[in-house]
Amino acid sequence: MAHEMIGLGLRPAYYDDVLASTPPVSCFEIHPENYYSAGGTHFWLEKIRSDYPLLLHSVSLSPGSAECVPAEDIARLKALADRYQSYHISEHLAWSRLGQTYFHDLLPLPYTPESLETVCRNIQQIQEGVGVQILLENPTVYIRFQESMPETEFLTEICRRTGCGLLLDINNIYINSINHGLDADAYIKALPAECVGEIHLAGHQRQDGEMLEGSDRRLLIDSHDAAVASDVWSLYSRHIQCFPECPVIIERDSNFPPLDELLAEAEIARTIRARAGYVDNPETDKSRSCA
Amino acid sequence: MTKNHGAHSNLLKYQQSMADYLLYKADSADKHNILLDVSRPQLGIYRNNVRAVCYETLADNFETVCRVVGEDCFTGMVVRFIAERPPDLQQLSLYGKYFPTFIDNLPELQHLPWLADVARLEWQMVESFNAPSAVSLTASQVAAGIEAGLDHLALHPSCRLMSSPWPVVSVWQQHWHHREDDSQVQLRLDTGAEYALIFCYQQAARIRALSSDVYSVLQAINRAADVDSAEAPDLTRPDVIQVLAELIAHGLFIRPLE
Ligand SMILES: [Fe+2]
């Protein structure tokens, strides 16, 4: 029987509740960038780390940048991983930095041979710097490029060339499938399941205003400010057998509900897994290492 | 170290043109025609996202400034600030170091000459919250330090001292006390200069108004290494003793770094 880890994205809004109630989840995922200053939020993180494994979900290394990743940015991540003994690390297939400017948004890149070489070079640099394999997350993308290979092909080739793994964000796949008229199931099947090391589930919003071209649906926005949609749960359920050993993280980045609502979503994930024959135990899972 | 991929790089050209668009320096994101549907409104999602995260961070770090000028004006300030000083750190919550100077130079805010100093006060709170921790001295260790000379004491790394020709502490406090209803705020700006200690206690940045004399004493402690003992301040005055006692209680004295 496979043991699995179901965790939550940890945001400051939940620090006190997590410390007060030690909720029944197996781990928490953080954005390392929120902990790069010396003081501030480390007070809470140190306490939470003593009860839970942490997963590091980086948003600023910008593997899609034409420029190399600054060595000091990688060193900062490595120092945080060492400090918290947390080596389950992920990033996004996107760019978010140009020169000295950090855009703090995940920007799209054309899936060209040049981009492929660039991303592979940057991921190799990151993996060498932090000393572990990283996972790369499939992004939500709102625009399209003239020259671009399928994202699944692009991700598969990155895994093959760099040995990195994949963080499969089911919500992002669903959003892209609606916004660009793609087949979400085919997308998941096209990826190498053995490379997937983590699953993300999150909520989205339907944008008011005009319909999508050639469709009776409205644009979806990857807002992380709502409960996981039922279509996203279904998509996850349909493919759960492909990645039974992966940690599952519920992400919420704004419009924060009471912690209990996120725990209820973790419970849904647990139920879906149980129905598929995978039984989870947060107590035993918590004591395992995430790496 | 940041090395360019080469001038011929299409990826770099696209990223430069997208960056100009995101930072409101250009109206188009695609000078080089690599996007498929550049005219579609979806491109604006990225610009809106960048603006929204910057707005939220600055509104969080400069809550009082935002409430003084109102959300519409603040949005306009943010858009111009992004173009002038885009985020240059990985940690988004540390965005805004140059916002007070930016406010100083905004012609349309010249009628609020004190606003930049309010922003400076709020920025000191951000810095204070993010300062490293340090081992606090006990009351008897501080007493021994005072005995041995001020250069045996230092203020905690979270401490910041600030002075302003404007009553910025009062402005900040008024807004803080009337957080639910700004219409209750009654500003008096003719009360002259104000002095403050900004410090972090129990994981929150705080402000302590100081008299100019006490401010000078704390400055002397801060610079003790440079000050010879002839200039040592009088620590026996009641108002000084009271503030020193508060500092000890809040753990704000440490041993100076070697
Ligand atoms: Fe995600």
Range of the domain at B222: 129-254
pLDDT at B31: 65
Residue B119 lies in a domain: no
On whether both B144 and B231 belong to a single domain, the answer is yes
Q: Give the separation between CA A177 and CA A232, rounded to whole angstroms.
A: 11
Q: Does A271 touch chain B (CB under 8 A)?
A: no
ipTM of the complex: 0.91
What percent of chain B stands above pLDDT 70?
Answer: 89
Distance from CA of B126 to the nearest CA of A (A): 9
pLDDT at B225: 55
Q: What is the CA radius of gyration of chain B?
A: 23
Q: Give the separation between CA B165 and CA B177, rounded to whole angstroms.
A: 22
Residue B124 lies in a domain: no
On whether both B145 and B108 belong to a single domain, the answer is no
**Residue B10 C-alpha to ligand 1 middle, in angstroms?**
28
Residue B117 lies in a domain: no
* Minimal-distance CA residue of chain A relative to B134: A39
Residue B18 lies in a domain: yes
- Whether residue A66 and residue B11 make contact (CB cut-off 8 A), yes or no, is yes
pLDDT at A203: 95
Closest CA to B115 of B55, B176, B167: B167
State the CB neighbour count (10 A cutoff) for residue A124. Answer: 16
What percent of chain B stands above pLDDT 90?
Answer: 68
Q: For residue range B111-163, list pLDDT tens digits in order.
A: 999 999 999 999 999 999 999 999 999 999 999 988 888 888 999 999 999 99
What percent of chain A stands above pLDDT 90?
Answer: 81
Task: Count up the domains in chain A and report the number.
Answer: 1
Q: For residue range A176-185, list pLDDT tens digits in order.
A: 999 999 999 9
Residue B84 lies in a domain: yes
Residue B237 maps to which CATH number? 3.90.930
pLDDT at A5: 85
Q: Does A19 touch chain B (CB under 8 A)?
A: no
pLDDT at A44: 97
User: How far, CA to CA in Å, does B158 sit from each of A183, B132, B220, B247?
Assistant: 53, 7, 17, 12
**Residue A113 C-alpha to ligand 1 middle, in angstroms?**
25
Q: Which of A114-123, A272-281, B59-68, B206-215 has the lowest mean pLDDT?
A: A272-281
Summarize the confidence of residues B64-91 as an average pLDDT: 96
Residue A285 lies in a domain: no
Task: Count up the domains in chain B and report the number.
Answer: 2
Range of the domain at A250: 6-275
What percent of chain A stands above pLDDT 70?
Answer: 93
User: How far, CA to CA in Å, does A267 sit from each of A6, A24, A25, A237, A255?
Assistant: 9, 9, 9, 14, 20
Residue A287 lies in a domain: no
Tokens matching residue A84:
């918290």
Q: For residue range A40-56, list pLDDT tens digits in order.
A: 899 999 999 999 999 99
On whether both B146 and B247 belong to a single domain, the answer is yes
Residues in chain A within 8 Å Cβ distance of B88: 100-102
Residues in chain A within 8 Å Cβ distance of B41: 210
Q: What confidence category does residue A286 fall into, taking pLDDT thresholds of 50, 70 and 90? A: low
* Minimal-distance CA residue of chain B relative to A106: B46
On whether both B80 and B180 belong to a single domain, the answer is no
Residue A10 lies in a domain: yes
Residues in chain B within 8 Å Cβ distance of A70: 1-2
Q: What are phi and psi of B20, to 5 degrees?
A: -60, -40
pLDDT at B181: 77
Residues in chain B within 8 Å Cβ distance of A101: 19, 23, 86-88
**Residue A190 C-alpha to ligand 1 middle, in angstroms?**
19
Residue B37 lies in a domain: yes
Residues in chain B within 8 Å Cβ distance of A221: 45
Q: Give the separation between CA A279 and CA A272, rounded to whole angstroms.
A: 10
Distance from CA of A58 to the nearest CA of B (A): 10
Q: What confidence category does residue A291 fall into, taking pLDDT thresholds of 50, 70 and 90? A: very low
Q: For residue range B174-216, list pLDDT tens digits in order.
A: 888 887 777 777 777 778 899 999 999 999 999 999 999 999 9
Summarize the confidence of residues B44-73 as an average pLDDT: 95
Read off the pTM.
0.92
